[in-house]
Structure 1
């Protein structure tokens, strides 16, 4: 790679990191315009492999409906790994903890966002996002859930295994 290409790659990584953080802050602040602007017009958003929203407007509608059942939320990204597949396409894995109030129940857990990004005329945007749950449980059950075979315990749902089970 040339020096110019290397500098461009570093700038791209910084812009992608800023995109990830802006999405989380916008989610916590109910800033649906910024949430929507994080995605391409043809983006998809899935949860554990199940399509939840398609297109920018569909994704915003999904997130707005989900936020109607939430109280205070804190999305905390811990790392973002980006792999470039070309000058305008990248994949990402974003690890985060979520603290959410869902239907009056405070929950805590870890997730990984499996992303694909595209460079648009307006900069980098999310093309596909699949939120995969590692663990999630009401605060008072986090330890018990995390140590079990079913560490995913969303309120009003049956306990289920992790999307990232330990191999071994």
Structure 2
């Protein structure tokens, strides 16, 4: 790669990191237009490998419906790891912590988003997002849940294994 290509790649990494932050802020702020602007028209959104929605409008509706059961939320990204497939396509892994009120219960946890990104004109957008849970539990259960083999404890659901269990 020449210097111009290397600079462009750095700018692209920055733009993808900004996309991640913009999506989290839009989600936390109930900004449906901001959520929509994050995705290409035929994008997909999944949770733990299960497809939740296909298409920008369906993703916005899925997020709006999920958020109707939530109170205050804080999505905090910690890193964005990108791998470029071409000048206009990349994949990524985003590590983040979630703090949210779900059905009146305050929960905290860690997730990783398995993403694919595409350049749409001069803007990077999500082509797909798959939110995978490392651990999550009500605040008063985090210590016990995190130390167990079933650290995924969404309120009202069955305790489950992590999408990223520790390898022996």
Q: TM-score, normalised by structure 2?
A: 0.99
Cα displacement (A) at 1:121: 1.6
CA distances 1:37-69 after superposition (whole Å, capped 9, x unpaired) = 100001000000000111000100000000000
Matched residue, 2:157:
157
Partner of 1:7: 7
Q: Look up the SS of the partner of 2:15 in the other structure.
A: helix
CA RMSD of aligned residues (A): 0.5
Q: d(CA) in 1 for partners of 2:145 and 2:85? A: 37
Q: How does 1:132-143 map onto structure 2 within 5 Å?
A: 132-143=132-143
Hey, what does 2:147 align to over in structure 1? 147
Q: Partner of 2:56 in structure 1?
A: 56
Q: Map 1:38-117 to 2 at 5 A.
A: 38-117=38-117
- Displacement, 1:161? 0.1
**Structure 2 match to 1:32:** 32
Following superposition, the deviation at residue 122 of structure 1 comes to 4.9
Alpha-carbon distance in 2 for matches of 1:53, 1:34:
17
Q: Distance in 1 between matches of 2:123 and 2:74?
A: 26
Q: Could you list the runs of 4 or more consecutive aligned residues of structure 1 that deviate by over 3 angstroms after TM superposition?
A: none
Q: How far apart, CA to CA, are the structure 1 residues paired with 2:126 and 2:105?
A: 30
1:97-124 superposed Cα distances (whole Å, 9 cap, x missing partner)? 0001000000000000000000012510
Taking structure 1 as the reference length, the TM-score comes to 0.99
